[in-house]
Structure 1
């Protein structure tokens, strides 16, 4: 099996919670690149939150960010962009304001909050980025180049009901995914890590059978299913492991590097 493109999730996969990329994973990424495999990051994160991680790998690679809405290399080359409709963004802001739901938006790789509090502080710490509180009305003035909107719910027990409300209101004018139990990530229809990966493969003239994907969360599922060979982290849930071709070690034990060693370097 020859792997020409490796697509990896970040949090819980390449990255341990809140920590830099481990030396073991950096060494594995560089070894894979030396062996001829392009290593790409596929994440729900914004570009500027993913960029330092990609730079830590020491490679100039394309990064699939915002769950596939923006593909941009570490050196700044834009491969692909897909925005949310501006009118839909305004309606989402009003919808959340009526329900007092906490909302974040990502316009032109800038981060905005409906209000600054515990949710936004937690997010800034985990992503190592700083946003700006603009209110719901302020968000409606910043809807150009909107890659993603994110609702953080009051808890995973209410998330399905909130998603159902959004689905009933907006239907197929939006797509939704989750990278955490209390996250509702809103993107344009047709946008996903899988679609981003497929687009990148086309641009690089790589067949889907030559792609390996590795991840741990629900928003990784489309990407894992799309790749020719898929690997679940040992810390992934059982439903993720059930659809992959292989399972590697836990994130905390450099399971990512273990997968690269076994399936790309054949060691």
Structure 2
């Protein structure tokens, strides 16, 4: 029996503009009405993710920042594992030297060098969070960033950037998302590990959880849970890590309802 639905957001339940389609929201509400708890397991900040709770009845704490933070619906932090201060300073300087846009996360504040840059404005529209402009203070250290995000639109240069970053910072992990985003985490911090921690707190077994995602940063989660689903447009790594892949053209929430949840057990979903 599925008791918890743990969903990635961007590229999984949200469209390219960060919008939750009305029919998908309706399907999620139907599943919640059946007694299935819903949460998000996302790379987003908590305050960027929780606002979608107006459309989806969330029933468990959120796993945010790719697993570096767990926060309940009252805003109480259950877990936080940021990049240490010195590593934060060095990584931000590394990206500055490469000439790529980079942003940091000081708790629930989004810190950028220049708030009016195109990349900063794009991310603000996508996340619904206005950045805090800190200028050169971004690179001076003194804080532990929950995660770090850089943007590189050239695929070949992105490959070179990742290769050099991994060589320079063996204590960190680097994941791509949305193609042009490079997300930096403390090694070992990921969605899968934090979701395992959350269900331990909640008293839910792994086989009672259904997870769904699309990106390389979802791969730990997808490979760690027996009921795992990659959406049709997922990365190759995500598809290899998942037990199921949603067929091209299928509505993902409807598909998991019919083929994984209601396909495996009696339920009233969808009438």
Paired position in structure 1 for 2:143: 143
Number of equivalenced pairs = 263
- Change in 2 beyond 3 A, CA 1:234/1:36: same
How big is each residue's C-alpha offset from its partner over 1:151-186, in whole Å with a ceiling of 9 and x where there is no partner? 112422211211111112111x21221212221111
Secondary structure at the aligned position of 1:157 is classed as helix
- Change in 2 beyond 3 A, CA 1:127/1:212: same
Structure 1 residues 169-180: aligned runs within 5 Å: 169-171=168-170, 173-180=171-178
- Change in 2 beyond 3 A, CA 1:68/1:204: same
Q: 1:194 aligns with which of 192, 201, 213?
A: 192
Does 1:254 find its partner at 2:251? Answer: yes
Do the aligned partners of 1:47 and 1:65 also contact (CA within 8 Å) in 2? yes
Structure 1 residues 155-166: aligned runs within 5 Å: 155-166=154-165
Do the aligned partners of 1:234 and 1:249 also contact (CA within 8 Å) in 2? yes
Do the aligned partners of 2:222 and 2:228 also contact (CA within 8 Å) in 1? yes
Do the aligned partners of 1:64 and 1:72 also contact (CA within 8 Å) in 2? yes
Paired position in structure 2 for 1:128: 128
Do the aligned partners of 2:85 and 2:141 also contact (CA within 8 Å) in 1? no
- Change in 2 beyond 3 A, CA 1:97/1:40: same
Secondary structure at the aligned position of 2:146 is classed as strand
Gaps of at least 5 residues in structure 2 are 264-268
Aligned-residue CA RMSD in angstroms? 2.1
Paired position in structure 2 for 1:233: 231
The 2-side partners of 1:237 and 1:154 are apart by 17
Q: 2:216 aligns with which of 215, 218, 225?
A: 218
How big is each residue's C-alpha offset from its partner over 1:68-109, in whole Å with a ceiling of 9 and x where there is no partner? 011112222322211110111111122223332221001111
Secondary structure at the aligned position of 1:16 is classed as coil
1:238 deviates by 4.4
Do the aligned partners of 1:49 and 1:129 also contact (CA within 8 Å) in 2? yes
How big is each residue's C-alpha offset from its partner over 1:213-243, in whole Å with a ceiling of 9 and x where there is no partner? 1111111111111112111112224443333
1:202 deviates by 1.1
Secondary structure at the aligned position of 2:44 is classed as coil
Paired position in structure 2 for 1:264: 261
Paired position in structure 2 for 1:167: 166
Q: TM-score, normalised by structure 2?
A: 0.88
The 2-side partners of 1:19 and 1:254 are apart by 16
1:253 deviates by 5.7
Gaps of at least 5 residues in structure 1 are none
